[in-house]
Structure 1
Amino acid sequence: MSHDADHLADRYRSGSAWARNAVLVAGAVVVAAAIGWFVWAIWLHSHPKVGSSMDSWELQGPNAVKVTADVHIYDAAAHPSCTVLAYAEDHSTVGFQTFTPISGRQTITIKTERAATSVDWRGCTANGQKDPQ
């Protein structure tokens, strides 16, 4: 029987302790990097440099739309800008404006080519913040 046991031990020899430890360390590094990226992504998206929302819009005749928006600037040094578009009944763009906001509620008047039937608040971006908020 010892011959069979020796034969099995030679055939199914376990790896060296060094190789096992190297795999464990590499796995721990990959897991730590994934956790670090996840925490960074959560922090980045929960702390925008500027945030905004459109409160209302009102047609001001056939060539203008008045938009009321609420903008919160958390980092003024990031030079925020906001974009709003106006669309006609046929869904074509009839006016747009990109502007530098102030923090708080503000009213913007957009000149249009013809009567607008809807307004799209694209949101605000800032240096280092590509996703509109």
Structure 2
Amino acid sequence: MIDQQQSQQRPAGRYPQRRRRRPLVIVAVAVVAAIGLGWLIWAAAVHSRPTVSGAIHVWKVASDSSVTFTLTVERPDPSVAATCRVIAQATNFETVGEKTITVGPGTDRLTDVHDSLRTIRRATSVSMSGCTVQG
């Protein structure tokens, strides 16, 4: 006959001891999540305030090989020079003209630049591709 001590040892021997890694895994996941959230907040804060931005507000097709436009550039610090890339596109979204506009240092946060752009064929839209601080 099996005594009581043997009957208790038998089920305990069948199953391995429970590992104690779960708290370590939870702490590691929490640390990685906190680092990721911190980076996300930092990136959002830095990129939500660009040093320069621009937009095309008015444009007109002057001919089959030319467009005119008004580029508005906004700089929080007007003493910095900026460059903006303007592109013209055809009906099939092919770029038919491009130009880099340089806006020198000034005193106003908003600067309007009136200019024209030569195209290789008739353009149907004009847009600003991006602005950067010169330096």
> In the alignment, residue 68 of structure 2 is paired with which amino acid?
K
> In the alignment, residue 59 of structure 1 is paired with which amino acid?
V
CA distance in 1: counterparts of 2:122 and 2:112, whole angstroms? 20
Q: C-alpha deviations, 1:24-74, integer Å up to 9, x for none?
A: 331221111111122123213311121222111123345532211221113
Greater Rg, structure 1 or structure 2?
2
Q: Establish whether residue 47 from structure 1 lines up as the match of residue 53 from structure 2.
A: no
TM-score of the pair, normalised by structure 1: 0.67
> In the alignment, residue 75 of structure 2 is paired with which amino acid?
I
CA distance in 1: counterparts of 2:24 and 2:119, whole angstroms? 67
> In the alignment, residue 26 of structure 1 is paired with which amino acid?
A
The Cα of 1:93 is off from its aligned counterpart by 4.2
Would the aligned equivalents of 1:80 and 1:101 in 2 still touch at CA under 8 Å? yes
How many positions carry a matched residue from both structures?
125
Q: Which runs of 5+ in 2 are unaligned?
A: none
CA distance in 1: counterparts of 2:81 and 2:12, whole angstroms? 69
Structure 2 counterpart of 1:107, from 104, 113, 121: 113
Between Structure 1 and Structure 2, the one with more helix by share is 1
SS of structure 1 residue aligned to 2:103: coil
> In the alignment, residue 36 of structure 1 is paired with which amino acid?
G
Structure 2 counterpart of 1:67, from 60, 65, 69: 69
Q: 2:25 — aligned with what?
A: 23
Structure 2 counterpart of 1:14, from 18, 25, 32: 18
> In the alignment, residue 125 of structure 1 is paired with which amino acid?
C
The Cα of 1:87 is off from its aligned counterpart by 3.8
Q: 1:4 to 1:119 in 2, by over 3 A?
A: farther
Q: 1:124 to 1:76 in 2, by over 3 A?
A: farther
TM-score of the pair, normalised by structure 2: 0.66
The Cα of 1:4 is off from its aligned counterpart by 4.9
